[in-house]
């Protein structure tokens, strides 16, 4: 068989377009493919929901690849170790309640599990805005990241979703958009994004879970974006809270979808 470049290109275009068209109406749109978004996406897709993830970078994984200061090892506590084991990631017992894992193995396993569970991934795509109806988030406005990087004057596209999860980490990019569009209306103490506090691993891990919730009708926060939204501290290179937050976000959104 002689390979035909046109055939190769046509397959790519058709497969991608089929997936994009079939993702115009979603149950859940997750923005950000770090550990929190990946666990949330995996669990929701496994339940049979139509879930897509929009990640601005070429590869998923967010801040997990680099462990701490590019030492590619991660630390988790018992509950986080349990989540990693459920995904099949090998975990080492470091004593006194600390566990470690290879960050490359952890991220690649989360990505593989999530996509195999049915999560639709759109990488190189930035969520630049949300769509709203009657003070409820009902979808995302998306564009190619290179368009944003080049500052090209190109209109974006929009997709519908019954729920959106902001898993964009420290930057809380979706929450920030809503804050600008509807000032003072977030479900936080001040109605605004409270901002992230200084590093305090223990407290941050507890609060990440507590702060994983709905922040505006139709919009949930997970992972570091939960703490940045509700004013919790950052936690540094311990990742159990991210995994548990992703799991909690999936539980909350699943309950809401079943409503």
Q: How many CB atoms lie within 10 A of CB 15?
A: 10
Q: According to the binding rule CB under 6 A, does residue 242 interact with ligand 48F?
A: yes
Nearest residue to 80 (alpha-carbon basis) of 63, 65, 98: 98
Stretch that binds ligand 48F, among 15-23, 110-118, 169-177, 184-192 (CB under 6 A): 169-177
Q: According to the binding rule CB under 6 A, does residue 237 interact with ligand 48F?
A: yes
Q: According to the binding rule CB under 6 A, does residue 54 interact with ligand 48F?
A: yes
Q: How far is the CB of 115 from ligand 48F (least distance, A)?
A: 15
What are 34's two structure tokens? 């770090």
Among 26, 30, 45, 64, binds ligand 48F (CB under 6 A): 64
Q: According to the binding rule CB under 6 A, does residue 223 interact with ligand 48F?
A: yes
Among 127, 132, 186, 215, binds ligand 48F (CB under 6 A): 127
Among 169, 218, 232, 240, binds ligand 48F (CB under 6 A): 169
The sheet carrying 73-77 orders its strands as 73-77, 98-102, 92-95
* Pairing, β 137-144 against β 157-166: antiparallel
Longest CA–CA separation in the chain, Å = 66
Q: According to the binding rule CB under 6 A, does residue 166 interact with ligand 48F?
A: no
Q: How far is the CB of 74 from ligand 48F (least distance, A)?
A: 8
CA distances from 47 to 8, 68, 90, 212 (A): 33, 33, 25, 20
Task: Round to whole Å and give the CA distance between 161 and 184.
Answer: 23
Size of residue set near ligand 48F by CB under 6 A: 31
Specify whether the CB–CB gap between 229 and 172 falls below 8 A. yes
Q: According to the binding rule CB under 6 A, does residue 99 interact with ligand 48F?
A: no
Specify whether the CB–CB gap between 224 and 15 falls below 8 A. no
Among 27, 28, 32, 129, binds ligand 48F (CB under 6 A): 32
Q: According to the binding rule CB under 6 A, does residue 33 interact with ligand 48F?
A: yes
Task: Round to whole Å and give the CA distance between 41 and 53.
Answer: 7
Q: According to the binding rule CB under 6 A, does residue 224 interact with ligand 48F?
A: yes
Please say which residue, 9 or 61, places its beta carbon nearer to ligand 48F. Answer: 61
Residue 87's SS3 state is: helix
Q: What are phi and psi of 34, to 5 degrees?
A: -80, -170
Among 46, 176, 185, 234, binds ligand 48F (CB under 6 A): 234
Q: According to the binding rule CB under 6 A, does residue 56 interact with ligand 48F?
A: yes
Q: Catalog residues that contact ligand 48F under the rule CB under 6 A.
A: 31-37, 54-57, 62-64, 126-127, 167-169, 171, 173, 223-225, 234-239, 242
């Amino acid at each position: 068989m002689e390979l035909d470049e046109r055939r190769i290109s046509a397959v790519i275009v058709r497969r991608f377009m089929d997936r994009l068209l079939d993702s115009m109406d979603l149950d859940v749109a997750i923005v950000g493919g770090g550990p929190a978004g990946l666990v949330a996406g995996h669990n929701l897709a496994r339940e049979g929901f139509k879930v897509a993830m929009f990640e601005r970078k070429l590869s998923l994984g967010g801040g997990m690849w680099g462990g701490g200061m590019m030492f590619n090892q991660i630390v988790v506590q018992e509950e986080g170790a349990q989540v990693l084991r459920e995904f099949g990631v090998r975990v080492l017992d470091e004593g006194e309640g600390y566990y470690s894992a290879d960050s490359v193995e952890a991220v690649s396993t989360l990505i593989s599990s999530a996509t195999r569970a049915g999560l639709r991934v759109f990488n190189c795509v930035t969520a630049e805005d949300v769509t709203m109806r009657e003070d409820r988030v009902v979808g995302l406005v998306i564009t190619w990241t290179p368009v944003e990087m080049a500052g090209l004057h190109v209109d974006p596209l929009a997709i519908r979703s019954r729920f959106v999860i902001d898993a964009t980490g420290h930057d809380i990019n979706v929450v920030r958009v809503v804050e600008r569009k509807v000032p003072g209306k977030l479900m936080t103490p001040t109605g605004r994004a409270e901002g992230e506090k200084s590093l305090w691993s223990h407290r941050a891990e507890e609060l990440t879970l507590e702060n994983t919730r709905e922040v505006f009708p139709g919009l949930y926060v997970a992972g570091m974006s939960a703490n940045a939204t509700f004013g919790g501290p950052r936690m540094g290179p311990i990742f159990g809270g991210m995994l548990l937050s992703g799991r909690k976000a999936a539980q909350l959104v699943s309950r809401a979808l079943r409503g």
